[in-house]
Amino acid sequence: MLRAVYKWVDERLDVTPIWRDVADHEVPEHVNPAHHFSAFIYCFGGLTFFVVMIQILSGMFLAMYYVPDIINAHASVKYLQTEVAMGTIVRGMHHWGASVAIVMLFLHTLRVFFTGSYKNPREFNWIVGVLIFFMMLGLGFTGYLLPWDNKAYFATKVGIQIAESVPFIGSYLATFLQGGDMVGATTIPRFYALHVFFLPAGLLGLLATHFILIRRQGISGPL
Amino acid sequence: MSKKVSRRQFLTYTLGGTAGFLGMGMLFPMIRFAADPMLKKGGKGAFVNTNLTEGQINETPQAVDFRVAVKDGWYVPEGGEPRTAWVMKSEGKILALSPVCKHLGCTVGWDSNPQFKGEFFCPCHFGRYFKNGTNVPGTPPTKPLDQYETKIEAGHLWIGPIKKA
């Protein structure tokens, strides 16, 4: 049945070459944990991507209940966590996943650094990776404000004051981030828009570039 | 297809099954979370005092405003949500009709269209009801207006939830 549906679609769209091109490629022996267990360090990039997918998915579901404004933000988070079935789990996935994603990303960076994989001709992919790191930090920073509790409020105040300390453009940067003179009604929707539209769009674009470059250049050789 | 499961097939099934199991472990909480409003039981309506005395109810429908306590997610409006009922005496009994049209949910008014005197009228698609709430045949609604449960306590009219048909 499933096979017949696939065949019907494939006859019309010719999708087989596309997914073959994406998925059907050899994994070199030195990055395959089945050959050398220590090669598990090569999994951190893929694990980061997997966690990012979980973040996107759980975030989409959280957005079904969350309201980005000063009156309702905290109340809606409290409601979805305490009164909606499995709310604790879904918010927990997003909350812990955020930290796990940063940790995985960091381990991936360490692996690339210590195997020297960033060297020519892969410097550009290192730069793209650093941009991905900044995107993820931005997602973490903007997401932190959204529950609108004390921790969120003061963390954002501190973050914005750090931005304000940048020479010359600092005060403009702070006003831009706050959307006004203080962290409040205009800040939440701004952070929400950055958190769910702008930064994920940028992140997905960078990830696509990252993956295309890996396929073009191949995985770096063994040590 | 041969009867024997080949090694490749066996591995495909076990790998697919494991992946599916792990995937469901991830997706199930999220889907259950999203589907929660469907599975939640609605609150049971309580009776509220309308402050209308029994003597004030007559044969002509009158709009009676009252407030019911609601919990809309995390939002609990102070003093409750305003509701209206068309209250009248009909054949000696008290009738409290919901003003929500049974066609597509607009609000009906009593005697509100000069063309259709002595009827409930819905401006959206010209739905009409007789005084006792029965829909006028040939107009959009196919069912009579809903009735609220009512009771008289200490001389005052109390309105409850909508009667189940």
Asked if B29's CB is within 8 angstroms of A89's CB, the reply is: yes
Same domain, B70 and B151: yes
Same domain, B10 and B52: no
Same domain, B88 and B146: yes
Same domain, B109 and B83: yes
Structural domain including B23 reads 1-40
Question: Predicted confidence band at B33 (pLDDT cuts at 50, 70, 90)?
Answer: very high
Same domain, B81 and B31: no
Same domain, B131 and B78: yes
C-alpha closest to that of A210 among A116, A122, A128? A128
Q: Chain A within 8 Å of B38 (Cβ-Cβ)?
A: no
pLDDT at B40 (0 to 100):
86
DSSP structural state of residue B135: B
Count of the separate structural domains present in chain B: 2
Minimum distance, in Å, between the CA of residue A87 and any CA atom of chain B: 6
Q: Does A38-217 carry CATH code 1.20.810.10?
A: yes
Chain A residues whose CB is inside 8 A of the B39 CB are 85
Q: Dump pLDDT digits (tens) for B3-20.
A: 788 999 999 999 999 999
Same domain, B55 and B117: yes
Q: Are A62 and A93 in contact (CB under 8 A)?
A: no
Q: How far apart are CA A207 and CA A220, in angstroms?
A: 18
Sequence ranges of the domains in chain A: 38-217
Same domain, B25 and B83: no
> At residue B26, does pLDDT exceed 90?
yes
Question: Predicted confidence band at A223 (pLDDT cuts at 50, 70, 90)?
Answer: confident
pLDDT at B1 (0 to 100):
53
Amino acid letter for position B74 = W
Chain A residues whose CB is inside 8 A of the B34 CB are 61, 64
pLDDT at B53 (0 to 100):
86
pLDDT at B70 (0 to 100):
86
Q: What is the mean pLDDT of residues A104-127?
A: 96
Q: What is the mean pLDDT of residues A190-218?
A: 96
Query: Mean pLDDT for chain B?
Result: 90
pLDDT at B144 (0 to 100):
93
User: Quick one: how far is CA A29 from the chain centroid?
Assistant: 29
Question: Predicted confidence band at B2 (pLDDT cuts at 50, 70, 90)?
Answer: low
Q: What string of DSSP letters covers B40-72? A: SPPPPPPPEEEEEEGGG--SS-EEEEEEE---B
Question: Predicted confidence band at B165 (pLDDT cuts at 50, 70, 90)?
Answer: low
Same domain, B63 and B129: yes
DSSP lists the bridge partners of residue B94 as B89
Q: Dump pLDDT digits (tens) for A18-75.
A: 888 888 888 889 999 999 999 999 999 999 999 999 999 999 999 999 999 999 999 9
pLDDT at B4 (0 to 100):
86
Residues 110-149 of B with CB under 8 A from A: none
Q: How far apart are CA B76 and CA B78, in angstroms?
A: 6
pLDDT at B90 (0 to 100):
83
Q: How far apart are CA A104 and CA A92, in angstroms?
A: 18
3-state class (DSSP) for residue B148:
strand
Q: Strand order of the sheet with strand B127-129?
A: B109-110, B120-122, B127-129
Q: How far apart are CA A25 and CA A6, in angstroms?
A: 21
Residue A23: phi and psi, rounded to 5, are: -105, -25
> Which of B32, B74, B75 is the closest to A86 by Cβ?
B32
> Which of A61, A76, A78 is the closest to B33 by Cβ?
A61
Chain B residues whose CB is inside 8 A of the A79 CB are 73-74
For B34, which residue in chain A has the nearest alpha carbon? Answer: A61
Asked if A90's CB is within 8 angstroms of B33's CB, the reply is: yes
Q: What is the mean pLDDT of residues A198-214?
A: 97
What residues contact B165, with CB distance under 8 A and at least 6 apart? B143, B146
Chain B residues whose CB is inside 8 A of the A76 CB are 73-74
Q: How far apart are CA A111 and CA B149, in angstroms?
A: 71
pLDDT at B41 (0 to 100):
81
> At residue A212, does pLDDT exceed 60?
yes
Interface with chain B: mutation pick from A86, A88, A94, A100, highest number of B CBs within 10 Å: A86
Asked if A87's CB is within 8 angstroms of B34's CB, the reply is: no
Q: Dump pLDDT digits (tens) for B42-101.
A: 777 788 888 888 888 888 899 999 998 888 899 988 888 999 999 998 888 889 999 999
Chain A residues whose CB is inside 8 A of the B73 CB are 65, 76, 79
Chain B residues whose CB is inside 8 A of the A65 CB are 73
Q: What is the mean pLDDT of residues A153-179?
A: 95
Same domain, B75 and B35: no
